[in-house]
């Protein structure tokens, strides 16, 4: 039972179908407290869809989803605030739950944007807004945190700092994190479990085992893979253009 | 100094303005102005049905507006037409059905102008009760679903992910919108209700910088429009609905002035 107490979400053979085409299929994954699970894969490989299944936004058309988390926080990939709404950073921080002001300031300090607290959201730059989004998710003190390309548009130094922060938050709050990222370096050095997606799970496992996997090398190219691994194994399957497995 | 009917209209009108403020802000934020228009067009059908079957007008308008809103949702799922086309379809067909039905009701003396543009003479003491009790219910419900509604307005996925259940609050919001239209049809008239929802909120958008401030200003400018509009209506004998909306428009133009000044200052 001890092991199960730490379980937050379990997806078993899940998939999403849109107008009779599977966007993702056969997805199984588990997210535990204090662990970072990363989804990597090319554009359109179903990373966001998988994350939305874990968050209960999308219903799975097959398989089963068990969700034991009580408090989820989400940093969506793309978010556009309507200009018709006068929304300040502080209002946005309180969006889905009331958080007291000290905690808001503390969270904004962590992502380096505390000076923007009374600014209107639509005056922020892309990177600044991304920092606010991350701060908002952290301030909620969730037990499950889902981050969909959280550092897009953030400057180079900020990117590293934010990734370190994500790692730190995971330990500090003892929360489970599902991260979608294109930064293979961070993925391989800091996360606990990597899932390589392309419409289905190509391969998954610890970063160490993943970089040796031929599917991973095929998806990300020799060069990228080689920077992180010295090994290369035989390909066990290859892909069609839509990501399905060639027979 | 004032006739009784005028006091009644004033009390009812202020009540409507208070309810219309927050709902109008949501209509603006969610870009639902044409949706509000469709509901109010269908309100005319509600009124004719009320006369045909001698039902309470507000009740019948509420039911028809709610049915139209549900029809819209189901049509959106079934057809490939865009939302605005479906809204147009529903708005004009329900308006047309309403007008055709009025033709059949020739035995009843009908004040069509009153229905379309509002009639302060028609406001009874019972209507005041309806506006204030109904309005309070709408505001109380709105208070309880506010967090969910507001977060879904900002971002639906985020709201859904964090357990706000936006699908439920969206549905309730539609009913509340139908409710406020039902309450205000006698006073403002079917064609102009959306104006009372939209214009005060638009005024507020020009001069506010937080959601709460925008709601408060929307309510205040709504009340001001109603009071000044009704006085004008009494003085120069115009329909109440258009008078209120014209006053609101004038306030809107005035609210542009601070924006202009700010713009000029920034240029320097």
Test A72 with B163 for CB contact under 8 angstroms.
yes
Residue B252 lies in a domain: no
Does any domain span residue B244?
Answer: no
Residue B217 covered by a domain: no
The chain-wide mean pLDDT, for chain B, equals 87
Domain count, chain A: 1
Q: Has residue B106 been placed in a domain?
A: yes
Q: Residue A161 domain-assigned?
A: no
What's the burial of B108, exposed, middle or buried (CB within 10 Å: 0-12/13-18/19+)? Answer: exposed
| Whole-model pTM over 0.90 | no
DSSP conformational letter for B142: H
What band does B1 get if pLDDT is binned at 50, 70 and 90?
A: very low
Contact at CB, A96 and B158, closer than 8 angstroms: yes
A106 within some domain: no
Please identify every stretch of chain A with a pLDDT value under 70, giving residue numbers as ranges: 1-4, 221-247
SS3 A245: strand
Looking up tokens 């992180």 gives A228
B209/A88 touch (CB, cutoff 8 Å), yes or no = yes
Among A54, A58, A87, A140, the strongest candidate for a mutation testing the B interface, having the largest count of B CBs within 10 A, is: A87
Across the interface, whether the CB atoms of A55 and B161 are under 8 A apart is answered yes
Q: Which pair of structure tokens corresponds to residue A122?
A: 């639509």
C-alpha span between B16 and B223 (Å, rounded): 8
The alpha carbon dihedral of A74, A80, A81, A82 has a sign of negative
Judge whether A96 and B153 are in contact, CB under 8 Å.
Answer: no
For residue A21, give the CATH number of its domain.
Answer: 3.40.50.300
Query: pLDDT tens-digit profile of A38-56?
Result: 998 888 888 888 888 888 8
pLDDT tens for each residue of A203-245: 888 877 777 777 777 777 666 655 554 433 445 666 666 666 6
Please check whether residue B238 lies inside any domain of the structure: no
Across residues B146-153, what is the average pLDDT?
A: 91
Test the B interface: residue of A8, A53, A57 with most B CBs within 10 Å: A57
For residue B75, the domain's CATH number is 1.10.3470.10
Does some domain include residue A214?
yes
User: Smallest Cβ distance to A72: which of B29, B154, B162?
Assistant: B162
Say if A207 falls within a structural domain: yes
Instruction: Please report the pLDDT score of residue A224 as a whole number.
Output: 62
Whether residue A148 lies inside any domain: the answer is: no
Domain with A219, as residue range(s), is: 1-71+186-241
CA A119 to chain centre: 27
Q: Is residue B259 part of a domain?
A: no
B265 lies in some domain: no
Does residue A33 lie in a domain region? yes
Q: In what order do the strands lie in the sheet with A62-67?
A: A21-32, A7-18, A62-67
**Cα angle: A207, vertex A212, A214; to 5 degrees:** 120
Is A194 within a domain? yes
User: What sign results for the dihedral spanned by CA atoms B40, B42, B44, B47?
Assistant: negative
B154 vs A56: CB contact, 8 Å cut-off?
Answer: no
Q: Which of B24, B240, B233, B1 is nearest to B123 (CA)?
A: B240
Total structural domains within chain B: 1
Closest-CA residue of chain A to B213: A86
Domain hosting residue B96, numbered range: 4-191
């Amino acid at each position: 039972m001890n092991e199960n107490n730490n379980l937050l979400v379990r997806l078993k053979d899940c998939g999403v179908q849109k107008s009779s085409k599977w966007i993702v299929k056969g997805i199984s994954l588990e997210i535990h407290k204090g662990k970072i699970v990363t989804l990597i894969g090319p554009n359109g490989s179903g990373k966001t869809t998988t994350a939305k299944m874990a968050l209960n936004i999308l219903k799975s058309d097959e398989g089963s989803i068990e969700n034991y988390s009580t408090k989820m926080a989400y940093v969506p990939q793309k978010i556009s605030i309507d200009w018709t709404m006068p929304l300040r950073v502080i209002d946005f921080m309180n969006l889905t739950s009331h958080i007291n002001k000290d905690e808001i300031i503390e969270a904004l300090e962590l992502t380096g944007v505390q000076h923007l607290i009374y600014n209107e959201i639509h005056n922020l730059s892309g990177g600044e807004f991304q920092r606010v989004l991350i701060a908002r998710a952290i301030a909620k003190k969730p037990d499950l945190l889902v981050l969909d390309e959280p550092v897009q548009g953030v400057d180079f130094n900020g990117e590293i700092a934010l990734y370190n922060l994500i790692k730190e938050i995971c330990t500090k709050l003892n929360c489970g994190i599902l991260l979608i990222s294109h930064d293979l370096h961070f993925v391989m050095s800091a996360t606990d479990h990597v899932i390589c997606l392309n419409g289905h799970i190509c391969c998954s496992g610890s970063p160490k085992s993943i970089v040796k996997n031929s599917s991973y090398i095929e998806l990300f190219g020799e060069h990228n893979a080689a920077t992180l691994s010295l090994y290369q194994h035989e390909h066990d399957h290859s892909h069609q253009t839509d990501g399905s497995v060639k027979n | 100094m004032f006739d009784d009917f005028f006091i009644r209209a004033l009390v009812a009108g202020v009540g409507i303005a208070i309810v219309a403020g927050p709902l109008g802000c949501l209509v603006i934020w969610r870009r639902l102005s044409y949706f509000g228009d469709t509901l109010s067009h269908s309100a005319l059908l509600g009124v004719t049905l009320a006369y045909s079957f001698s039902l309470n007008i507000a009740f019948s308008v509420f039911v028809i507006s709610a049915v139209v809103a549900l029809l819209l949702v189901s049509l959106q799922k079934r057809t490939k037409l865009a939302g605005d086309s479906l809204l147009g379809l529903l708005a004009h067909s329900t308006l047309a059905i309403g007008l055709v039905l009025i033709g059949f009701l020739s035995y009843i003396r009908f004040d069509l102008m009153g229905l379309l543009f509002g009639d302060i003479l028609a406001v009874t003491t019972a209507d005041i009760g309806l506006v204030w009790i109904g309005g309070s219910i709408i505001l109380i419900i709105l208070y309880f679903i506010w967090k969910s509604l507001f977060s879904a307005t900002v971002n639906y996925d985020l709201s859904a992910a964090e357990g706000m259940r936006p699908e439920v609050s969206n549905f309730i919001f539609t009913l509340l919108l139908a409710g406020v239209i039902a309450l205000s049809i006698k006073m403002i008239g079917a064609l102009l209700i959306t104006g009372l929802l939209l214009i005060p909120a638009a005024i507020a958008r020009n001069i506010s910088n937080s959601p709460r401030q925008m709601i408060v200003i929307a309510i205040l400018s709504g009340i001001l429009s109603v009071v000044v509009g009704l006085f004008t209506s009494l003085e120069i004998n115009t329909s109440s609905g258009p008078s209120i909306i014209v006053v609101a428009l004038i306030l809107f133009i005035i609210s542009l002035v601070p924006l202009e000044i700010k713009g000029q200052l920034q240029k320097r």
